[in-house]
Amino acid sequence: MPIAVASSSYPLLNAFWTMLEFFLWVIWIWVLIMVFLDIFRSRDLSGVAKALWFVFVLVIPLFGVLAYLIARGGSMHERSARWAQAEDEEFRADAQAGSPGAPASPADQLVTLADLRDRGVISAGEFEREKAKVLA
Protein backbone atom coordinates (compact mmCIF):
# COMPACT_ATOMS: atom_id res chain seq x y z
CA MET A 1 0.00 0.00 0.00
CA PRO A 2 1.56 3.34 -1.04
CA ILE A 3 2.19 5.89 1.66
CA ALA A 4 -0.04 8.53 0.00
CA VAL A 5 -3.02 6.18 0.16
CA ALA A 6 -2.23 5.16 3.75
CA SER A 7 -1.96 8.76 4.93
CA SER A 8 -5.23 9.78 3.29
CA SER A 9 -7.09 7.02 5.09
CA TYR A 10 -6.26 8.68 8.43
CA PRO A 11 -7.93 12.12 8.48
CA LEU A 12 -6.76 12.80 12.05
CA LEU A 13 -3.16 12.33 10.94
CA ASN A 14 -3.74 14.84 8.12
CA ALA A 15 -5.15 17.37 10.59
CA PHE A 16 -2.19 16.83 12.92
CA TRP A 17 0.26 17.25 10.05
CA THR A 18 -1.45 20.47 8.91
CA MET A 19 -1.37 21.89 12.45
CA LEU A 20 2.31 20.97 12.79
CA GLU A 21 3.13 22.70 9.51
CA PHE A 22 1.16 25.79 10.59
CA PHE A 23 2.92 26.04 13.96
CA LEU A 24 6.33 25.55 12.37
CA TRP A 25 5.48 28.36 9.94
CA VAL A 26 4.47 30.65 12.82
CA ILE A 27 7.69 29.84 14.69
CA TRP A 28 9.71 30.55 11.54
CA ILE A 29 8.04 33.96 11.09
CA TRP A 30 8.63 34.75 14.77
CA VAL A 31 12.35 33.87 14.55
CA LEU A 32 12.69 35.93 11.39
CA ILE A 33 11.07 38.96 13.03
CA MET A 34 13.24 38.58 16.15
CA VAL A 35 16.39 38.48 14.00
CA PHE A 36 15.33 41.61 12.10
CA LEU A 37 14.55 43.40 15.38
CA ASP A 38 17.92 42.40 16.80
CA ILE A 39 19.72 43.61 13.68
CA PHE A 40 18.16 47.06 13.93
CA ARG A 41 18.43 47.33 17.74
CA SER A 42 22.13 46.42 17.85
CA ARG A 43 24.23 49.39 18.78
CA ASP A 44 27.48 47.52 18.18
CA LEU A 45 26.82 47.12 14.43
CA SER A 46 27.54 49.91 11.99
CA GLY A 47 24.96 50.97 9.43
CA VAL A 48 26.75 49.06 6.67
CA ALA A 49 26.91 45.89 8.77
CA LYS A 50 23.20 46.21 9.57
CA ALA A 51 22.40 46.63 5.89
CA LEU A 52 24.52 43.62 4.93
CA TRP A 53 22.92 41.40 7.60
CA PHE A 54 19.48 42.61 6.53
CA VAL A 55 20.09 41.85 2.86
CA PHE A 56 21.67 38.47 3.67
CA VAL A 57 18.69 37.44 5.84
CA LEU A 58 16.20 38.82 3.32
CA VAL A 59 17.73 37.23 0.20
CA ILE A 60 18.66 33.85 1.69
CA PRO A 61 16.35 33.57 4.72
CA LEU A 62 17.16 30.09 6.00
CA PHE A 63 20.92 30.37 5.75
CA GLY A 64 20.87 34.04 6.72
CA VAL A 65 18.97 33.39 9.94
CA LEU A 66 21.14 30.38 10.79
CA ALA A 67 24.33 32.37 10.12
CA TYR A 68 23.06 35.27 12.22
CA LEU A 69 22.09 33.00 15.10
CA ILE A 70 25.48 31.28 14.98
CA ALA A 71 27.45 34.53 14.72
CA ARG A 72 25.46 36.81 17.03
CA GLY A 73 22.76 34.68 18.64
CA GLY A 74 24.56 34.29 21.97
CA SER A 75 24.16 37.95 22.80
CA MET A 76 20.65 38.46 21.39
CA HIS A 77 19.06 37.98 24.81
CA GLU A 78 21.44 40.44 26.47
CA ARG A 79 20.68 43.12 23.88
CA SER A 80 16.96 42.46 24.19
CA ALA A 81 17.10 42.63 27.99
CA ARG A 82 19.08 45.89 27.89
CA TRP A 83 16.60 47.40 25.44
CA ALA A 84 13.62 46.32 27.58
CA GLN A 85 15.25 47.71 30.74
CA ALA A 86 15.93 51.06 29.04
CA GLU A 87 12.33 51.21 27.81
CA ASP A 88 11.06 50.41 31.30
CA GLU A 89 13.22 53.08 32.92
CA GLU A 90 12.10 55.64 30.35
CA PHE A 91 8.46 54.73 30.91
CA ARG A 92 8.81 54.97 34.69
CA ALA A 93 10.52 58.35 34.44
CA ASP A 94 7.81 59.67 32.12
CA ALA A 95 5.03 58.28 34.29
CA GLN A 96 6.52 59.67 37.49
CA ALA A 97 7.17 63.11 36.02
CA GLY A 98 3.82 63.52 34.31
CA SER A 99 1.35 61.67 36.47
CA PRO A 100 -1.13 63.63 38.55
CA GLY A 101 -0.51 61.33 41.51
CA ALA A 102 3.16 62.18 41.64
CA PRO A 103 4.22 63.99 44.80
CA ALA A 104 4.33 67.72 44.16
CA SER A 105 6.83 70.05 45.74
CA PRO A 106 5.64 72.18 48.68
CA ALA A 107 5.78 75.27 46.47
CA ASP A 108 3.49 73.63 43.91
CA GLN A 109 1.09 72.57 46.65
CA LEU A 110 0.98 76.12 48.06
CA VAL A 111 0.31 77.57 44.60
CA THR A 112 -2.56 75.10 44.14
CA LEU A 113 -3.98 75.94 47.58
CA ALA A 114 -3.75 79.68 46.89
CA ASP A 115 -5.53 79.20 43.58
CA LEU A 116 -8.30 77.23 45.31
CA ARG A 117 -8.64 79.96 47.93
CA ASP A 118 -8.72 82.72 45.31
CA ARG A 119 -11.46 80.94 43.37
CA GLY A 120 -13.49 80.48 46.54
CA VAL A 121 -13.31 76.69 46.58
CA ILE A 122 -11.79 76.67 50.08
CA SER A 123 -12.04 79.22 52.85
CA ALA A 124 -9.17 81.22 54.33
CA GLY A 125 -9.20 79.01 57.45
CA GLU A 126 -8.97 75.83 55.38
CA PHE A 127 -6.17 77.43 53.39
CA GLU A 128 -4.20 78.16 56.58
CA ARG A 129 -4.70 74.61 57.92
CA GLU A 130 -3.56 73.02 54.66
CA LYS A 131 -0.66 75.47 54.40
CA ALA A 132 0.47 74.45 57.90
CA LYS A 133 0.32 70.76 56.87
CA VAL A 134 2.38 71.43 53.73
CA LEU A 135 5.01 73.42 55.58
CA ALA A 136 5.24 70.93 58.46
Q: What is the 3-state secondary structure (H, E, C) of the chain?
A: CCHHHHHHCCHHHHHHHHHHHHHHHHHHHHHHHHHHHHHHHCCCCCHHHHHHHHHHHHHCHHHHHHHHHHHHHHHHHHHHHHHHHHHHHHHHHHHHHHCCCCCCCHHHHHHHHHHHHHCCCCCHHHHHHHHHHHHC
Whether the CB-CB separation of 77 and 38 falls below 8 Å is answered with: no
Angle subtended at Cα 88 by Cα 85 and Cα 91, rounded to the nearest 5 degrees: 150
Q: What is the per-residue pLDDT across 1-19, written as a single tens digit (0 to 9) for each? A: 455 555 566 688 888 999 9
**Stated pTM of the model:** 0.55
**Distance, CA of 12 to CA of 43 (rounded, Å):** 48
Q: What is the per-residue pLDDT across 90-128, written as a single tens digit (0 to 9) for each? A: 888 887 766 555 556 788 888 888 888 998 888 889 889
Interval 17-25 mean pLDDT = 94
